[in-house]
Structure 1
């Protein structure tokens, strides 16, 4: 290729090492900086190899002053793309499993330096190290949206007071990525609704993750607070998230016609039930909830006499009501065709609202599972429960207007 004919020896060595690292599955990432080409306001590029539609591709994150843009290239074009970009940059840093290379160029010469990693790093198998890298990088720390949200500073360093929020975001996207791999890709893109989106931390992180992994996301954050909605809309615009929008409302007032992924984190009390019902009704492929404020069942609770000594303590009664509420939710999801898990998604030290209900749609679902519905009825009879909002909604029996309108 023409770009390779004018390369210095140092540049050629750099590209050879890049190509060998990719071929041997030892490539970590490549950072190209001090860009001097024709793309205006481009600051740097970060390149990684990622899986996409059962193939490996070269993913390039173009970081501009005000937004990030991701483009994916076939792996057989990797060398050409890197050589073309390298010609426009004065510095390049290549990280492989074994070493790091730094290439610096000026008008007179190119300088190449190599530094080996510590011996302990070399003892890690490439496959294992690759797995570790994936676990650490569900959200790119240098993503521009993190600055706009106040999570990182201008040098892409985590602001200390936001360290816990940063960990929550990464854990949430890690869980989401695992579930995303199980659902069927949509040619027209994935339609995602985040009920109770707040300041948009998770909403923006999901959009960024999907965009960088070859998805076409259409994401809507639903939030009651008008100031939050305005703030999030500005963040989306500044970050170049063209298909991310925010709606002022709640789970009762926002009614999408189509839905692939339904998210409701910390939707208060029965607002969680309305959100789950929306997901089931619209045949969502994925439903993610982190419930809070379990108020509905506790006044109804009439536990078996044998449990009275335990439940005389208020904290135990509250925990019992919470467990029963979310068990019925999980079983209803299971009955209506979802593979369902209930688990702790972040440690209690980060948030007390740490329970996640994650459900993905089964392909073989035809009608509600009567065995599971019988299990729910048995639990209700055991505890004297007369009504559960999600069950009422699924049976078209909801009649308490005005309740569950806030989240």
Structure 2
């Protein structure tokens, strides 16, 4: 006759195969790790492979390990009864508990489930890309309270953080970094560090990558705030530096982020990304002061652009459009789209660039000619990013671009 332990894991196998396993929770820990509270296990799909995601809940941090199903089941069987005396199996309709007494007697109990979570593998894969509210850093930064419940005033910020991770996750999957175990991210203008902590959590815990994430800010108090929180949480590979994007020495960068850098600070940030060979560049520009005073209102647009609001919108479109084209000339594929504001302003545009794979067609000559045509039409004399790239010899001169265009 099968033991309760065998019966329990037979049910685990059955619900996994039927895709009705919502989650497993292991409790009553007896092992040597003093601050380990419990382990939660969910079925997920990562890069097309069925896996079990183990979340080891400690008092101040979570550690996530994703294992192929067979390997994960072996790990589970070795943990239950040896390190954990309680195991709960949750399905859409019932909760099954395996309880092991101090004397080693195992009992299987069945009850009605009060769980409302979806068991869809597609749903779980989507959730895997987003953050859970019980992440410790959210409490440290004041997004959730001590019970890990969302603070109502932070609901908008919570949505923004998740949206950012969603966009980043998609960019990462389509980039050359998708197969890299080591990633260095630099976040310029990191502020209170909401996104800096979030991207570190996603890379280090959700994806189990060797991630080094650096937040850079001009305000020393924000730097100290971030470093203090990271230290208290015991986070490895996360730090905050005091610095200016114009002269910060970043070393090798894989992902360059700059959200709401004012005016030409965005150009310096993009230049930093290109110069350091970043595979992903993410910018949400703020203010567009450099181009606007240079603009002439060409015929037949003059009657429209006589209105200041239209001229401002035109300056914004041209500044960011030229930034995207300059990135393309330097070997990136770019997207410009509306993004949820991360600072509660109407500045919600994002420039997202991913480096092209080696061997992809060179679009530099054609793109530079397009840039020159646009500048000539609007009589734009200088664009900061273009000047920075030319100063390093990364772009040919305007006359060279015209010659290439006329051939």
TM-score normalized by the length of structure 1: 0.86
Q: Deviations over 1:227-271 (max 9, x none)?
A: 111111122122232111111012123122211111111111111
Once the two structures are superposed, residues 312-358 of structure 1 have per-residue CA deviations (whole angstroms, 9 ceiling, x without a partner) of 22222111111111100111111111111111122799541211111
Where does residue 94 of structure 1 map in the other structure? 89
Check if 1:150 corresponds to 2:142.
yes
Shift in Å, 1:368: 5.8
SS in 2 for 1:49: strand
Q: 1:21 aligns with which of 15, 19, 38?
A: 15
Partner of 2:188: 195
Deviates more, 1:291-300 or 1:302-311: 302-311
Q: Which runs of 5+ in 1 are unaligned?
A: 399-407
Contact 1:303 1:382 in 2 (8 A): no
Provide structure 2 residue ranges, at least 5 long, that are not aligned to the other structure.
Answer: 394-407
Conservation of the 8 A alpha-carbon contact between 1:191 and 1:259: yes
Runs of 4+ that moved beyond 6 A? none
Instruction: Give the Å deviation of 1:383.
Output: 1.4
Please give the secondary structure, in 2, of the residue aligned with 1:266: strand
Aligned to 1:401: none
| Partner in structure 1 of residue 386 of structure 2 | 391
Tell me if structure 2 keeps the 8 A contact 1:32–1:45: yes
Aligned residue in 2 for 1:213: 207
With 57-66 and 337-346 compared, the bigger mean Cα shift is at 57-66
Counterpart in the other structure of 1:176: 168
* Cα distance in 1 for residues equivalent to 2:146 and 2:96: 23
Q: Which has the higher contact order (CA 8 A, sep 6+)?
A: 1
Given the alignment of the two structures, is residue 159 of structure 1 paired with residue 170 of structure 2, yes or no? Answer: no
- Please tell me whether the aligned partners of residues 264 and 289 of structure 1 are also in contact (alpha carbons under 8 angstroms): yes
- Indicate how the Cα distance of structure 1 residues 349 and 65 shifts in structure 2: closer, same or farther if over 3 A, else same: closer
1:357 aligns with 2:351: yes
Which of 123, 129, 132 is residue 140 of structure 1 equivalent to?
Answer: 132
Q: Secondary structure at the match of 1:377?
A: helix
Do 2:341 and 2:347's aligned partners in 1 also have CA atoms closer than 8 Å? no
Aligned length: 384
Aligned counterparts, 1:10-159, within 5 A: 11-52=5-46, 55-87=49-81, 88-89=83-84, 91-96=86-91, 98-103=92-97, 105=99, 107=101, 109-115=107-113, 129-137=120-128, 138-159=130-151
Instruction: Give 1:380's aligned residue.
Output: 375
- Pairing 1:223-262 to 2, within 5 Å after superposition: 223-262=217-256
| SS at structure 1 position matched to 2:375 | helix
RMSD of equivalent CA atoms:
2.7
Aligned match for 2:364, one of 358, 365, 369: 369
Q: Secondary structure at the match of 1:295?
A: coil
Task: Give TM-score, length-normalised by structure 2.
Answer: 0.86
